[in-house]
Amino acid sequence: MYPPEPAVRRSPALPPVVKAVLLLNGLVYLAQQVIGDPLAMHFALWPLGVPQEIAPGFQIWQLLTYSVLHGNLLHLFTNMFAMWMFGMQIEYLWGSRLFAVYYLICVLGAGLVQLVVATLAAEGGDIYPTIGASGGVFGVLLAFGMMFPNQRIVLLFPPIPMKAKWFVILYGAFELYAGITGTLSGVAHFAHLGGMLFGLVLILYWRRQVPRLR
């Protein structure tokens, strides 16, 4: 017999970690508009072994800093909207400290997976940086689907109501398909999958350690 699913909390107040992520990403985007390319050159996630005449190359801090850079306003809005929509509920449920650790691990895991993929692509001559909070956001989406599996959400395009667990499964399957087939080129599908994978492993581990995650 399983415990009842936790209730979704309705509150106008932003919890501290979600608020910090929204503010940080917004401020960095404004800085990108002022400073321009130098931010991406040094803080985007570059593949290993990039020639210095092309880009500064990989640095260890890029495994986190890539997540606060965005390509355009739509890129920023979609990531932050999902962070607000799903991250608030997870932070309320888990608490700010646990949620902050989870989000950072998902960002780091997504970065590691994408680093491998981008490095393999660079060996074939396709050199590109990775930016965006999507890897961490996909980890948060996975957490929402696991914590609130039967909560109904409505897609934006198309506006179809769906249980969270099916939404997460279908979205993950699409990301895998798109990553393997190269659909929607320019999107870091494997970073999204990496965020979900590291999030899944962390939740399964924590469920043995933290009572409120069981």
Give the mean pLDDT of the chain: 87
Per-residue DSSP letter, 85: I
Tens-digit pLDDT profile for residues 23-80: 999 999 999 999 988 888 899 999 998 887 777 789 999 999 999 999 999 999 989 9
Most confident of 3-12, 44-53, 70-79, 155-164: 70-79
For the four alpha carbons of 17, 188, 176 and 85, in that order, the dihedral sign comes to positive
Give the pLDDT score at 123. Answer: 82
Read off the pTM: 0.89
For residues 54 and 108, what is the distance between their CA atoms, to the nearest angstrom?
Answer: 25
CATH superfamily of 16-213: Rhomboid-like (1.20.1540.10)
Q: Give the pLDDT confidence of 38-51 residue by residue, as tens digits.
A: 888 899 999 998 88
Q: Where are the domains of the chain?
A: 16-213
Map residue 174 onto helix, strand or coil: helix
Which pLDDT value is given to residue 114? 94
Q: With residue 179 as reference, give the H or E element that holds it.
A: helix 164-181
pLDDT in tens, 106-147: 999 999 999 999 998 888 778 889 999 999 999 999 999 999
User: In the prediction, which pLDDT does 2 show?
Assistant: 43
Asked if the model's pLDDT at residue 1 lies above 50, the reply is no
* Alpha-helix residue ranges (DSSP H) falling in 15-151: 16-35, 37-43, 62-65, 73-82, 88-94, 96-123, 134-147
Tell me how far CA of residue 171 lies from CA of 2, 120, 125, 141, 201, in angstroms.
26, 25, 30, 10, 18
